[in-house]
Amino acid sequence: MTGPLHHLKVIELGHVIAGPLSTALLSDFGADVIKVEAPNRTDMLRDLGPKAEDGVGVWWKTLGRNKKTLSLDWKSDEGRDILRRLVEGADVLVENFRPGVLERAGVGPETLHEWNPDLVILRISGYGQEGPMRDVPAFGRAAEAMSGLAHLTGFADGPPMHPGFPAADSTTGLMGAMGIMLALFARETGSARGQVIDLAVFEALFRLMDYPVPALTGANHSARRNGLRQPMDYAPGGMFRTSDGVWLTVSAGSAETAQRLLRAVGGDTLADDPRFATLDEMSRHMAVVFDAINDFVTQHTLAEVEAEFARHDAIASRVLSVEEITKNEQIRYRGDIVSVEGEQTQVIGPIPHLSATPGELRWLGRKPGADTRNILRDLGFEDERIAALCEAGHVSLAEE
């Protein structure tokens, strides 16, 4: 089955997570992605993190999925000519260098649009292409700090904390892919030709951290980190540990579900207490609610909590470890962890699930330059010319 983006041609000049994730998401649904790496300077993600049995970094395996790899020095005159040929036949170019890198190499957006006026260009940088922090270097953790996420994570009397995954880089990849699709839609409908998408790494996470801003500006409520409870505690819930040592997250998002939760942990006496008649009233006594839930959960086993919550149609979800994730029946049923033939490494599969044109994992991350020869042949280069380019160091081929 052909993916819905099988007609889309994407050039990736990105590295590490944010840019490569945006193109990996597109590749899951059929986009033809060419990842460009310098002959003697590959994406550092190949060497970061744990290695599989074949010695290849597992993070590279997943972010390099479904991509062709081209080893090209696009800053040289000859390499720039090859890049031009690629751009002329492409729909999208993705880069996540510091602002100015493309311009100094003579391939800024103006030049790229001279080559291909319809090209959509995604530019990811720490703080954006313009502004007083334009040239300040940044990584994902700096973005998490700027977004407010770190400030709202942790205990009130403890330090701010980062989440257990690269939240800023990952959300930037998601937002970048959405930005590309929006720009392509505008192109297809005639609203605009090739657009430049300027995305700062902190902005994608910042957009998902929207709630504290209107709370402060509209209601003068300043959110603070709150340990096992939510920073803005307007609905009952939190993280609790059963008597047999299992962590659960408990939540209720409406007055009705809150009443069922209270009835499960404290019976009619607690559920019918006038202090908890509405969520607004409940929010003023959330410490009492939290303590009641904590007392119940900590005094019962997982099986007992699950049985009582099920009886009242209340929600308590077990906190899964990575080991448990890989064995979870629902995750397995939905096919959300996948691999390819001959690979031990498993990765998260294409998401979301499309009914008629689902995504597909075709291969995991390839060797540097694995597709250089075929890509250059497709551009019209003869083997003798390819050999000469290799000899001069403008391109390189994968080691046999």
Beta bridge partners of 198: 123
Give 227's pLDDT tier (boundaries 50, 70, 90): confident
For residues 242 and 249, is the Cβ–Cβ distance under 8 A? no
pLDDT, mean of residues 251-263 = 87
Residue 236 has a pLDDT of 85
Model pLDDT, residue 232: 77
pLDDT value at residue 230: 82
SS3 303: helix
Q: What are phi and psi of 34, to 5 degrees?
A: -110, 115
- The amino acid occupying position 351 is I
pLDDT digits (tens, 9 = 90+) for 159-194: 999 999 999 999 999 999 999 999 999 999 999 999
DSSP states along 148-192? TTGGGSS-TTS-----SS-HHHHHHHHHHHHHHHHHHHHHHTTS-
Dihedral of CA atoms 189, 191, 193, 197 in degrees, nearest 10, equals: -110
Mean pLDDT value across residues 297-316: 95
Domains of the chain, first to last: 9-209+333-396 (3.40.50.10540), 237-241+247-318 (3.30.1540.10)
54, exposed or middle or buried, with CB in 10 Å at 0-12, 13-18, 19+?
exposed
- Cα separation of the two ends of the chain: 31
Give residue-wise pLDDT tens across range 320-352: 999 999 999 999 999 999 999 999 999 999 999
The pLDDT of residue 99 is above 70: yes
pLDDT at 285: 86
Using 50, 70 and 90 to split pLDDT, how confident is the model at 14?
Answer: confident
Q: Report residue 400's pLDDT band, with 50, 70 and 90 as the boundaries.
A: low
Mean of pLDDT values over 46-59:
93
d(CA 224, CA 244): 31
Catalytic residues: 169
Nearest to 120 by CA among 100, 99, 97, 94: 94
Least confident of 17-31, 259-273, 380-394: 259-273
